[in-house]
Structure 1
Amino acid sequence: MSGGSRSFEDMLAYVDENGVLHTTPQDVKPKEEIDASQIEISVPRQSEIEEEEPMSGRVEYFTASKGYGFIKDAAGSEKYFFHITNAPAGIAEGDRVTFELERGTRGMNAVRIVISNK
């Protein structure tokens, strides 16, 4: 030791249950027993399963050669992209449709499209 007169006991630090350092040992409280069978880990049950009503709109743009189009929502001015794999055969511009929405990589996409009337 170089010029120090500190003892080993002087160099010790004690940490309490909150991570705070102390120079003296702290009183240790008895640990509270937890019954693991009483811990509930789950998603809360839904009291009532809500069925979403399909949205309605009109096919504003569709190109079969590229395989995509856009549907304008009847309730607002939103336009939703759709891919031909989510549309029925024979879909065309001007068709009234019902559809549901799913989040895609670039926003909300129309899926499960059904032609209402031609």
Structure 2
Amino acid sequence: MGRSNETFNKKEKEKKRLKKQQDKKAKAENRKANSDKGKSLEDMMAYVDENGNLTTTFTEFMAPKPVDLDDIAVAIPKQVQRPKDAPNTGVINFYNTAKGFGFIRDSETKEDVFFHVNSLTYEAKENDKVTFTTERGPRGLQAVGVAKL
């Protein structure tokens, strides 16, 4: 009597292969049963209601609400210009003592303004509340005459 050429490992591989085939057939049958093919156009339509939500049923819109044209803002409102001599206030949000520069967050415009150590009138630290005036520098606005509040 001879030994069988099939080993345990070969049998297990064959079982896995057959199981995989059966799973694949089951998935294909499931897709066919749940497919959207053959649906009518009305079944595939989606509508938007007056609140902007998607629905499957068509609803008639009500008349549009009247809009007052004066309420529509087309441009950004102009900022109030301060006198050039008036000092600005702000907080030092970054200061590098080794390199000698920093930035002040302006309390009105919320913009960062560059300052150099030469424009300081005291020993500055981060989070100090300061007053300053601005000048146009080579790279934009620059704080001058920075003093502690």
Normalising TM by the smaller chain, what interval?
0.5 to 0.7
1:89, distance to aligned residue in structure 2 (A): 2.9
Cα deviation code 1:74-98 (max 9, x no counterpart): 0122100000000123111000000
In the alignment, is residue 74 of structure 1 matched against residue 111 of structure 2?
no
Bigger radius of gyration among the two: 2
8 Å CA contact 2:89–2:129 kept in 1: the answer is: yes
TM-score, length basis structure 1: 0.54
Q: Return the structure number with greater helix share.
A: 2
Match among 117, 120, 124 for residue 87 of structure 1: 120
1:1-118 residue pairs with structure 2 within 5 A? 52-116=85-149
Identify which of structures 1 and 2 has the higher relative contact order when contacts are C-alpha pairs closer than 8 Å and 6+ apart: 1
8 Å CA contact 2:91–2:105 kept in 1: the answer is: yes
Moved over 3 A (4+): none
Q: Return the structure number with greater strand share.
A: 1
1:57, distance to aligned residue in structure 2 (A): 0.2
For residues 62 and 81 of structure 1, the distance between their equivalents in structure 2, rounded to whole angstroms, comes to 10
Letter of the 1:60 partner, please give it. Answer: N
For residues 147 and 135 of structure 2, the distance between their equivalents in structure 1, rounded to whole angstroms, comes to 15
For residues 59 and 66 of structure 1, the distance between their equivalents in structure 2, rounded to whole angstroms, comes to 15
1:16 match? none
RMSD: 1.3
For residues 84 and 115 of structure 1, the distance between their equivalents in structure 2, rounded to whole angstroms, comes to 14
Unaligned runs of 5+ in 1: 1-49
Identity of aligned residues (%): 36
Cα deviation code 1:31-51 (max 9, x no counterpart): xxxxxxxxxxxxxxxxxxx77
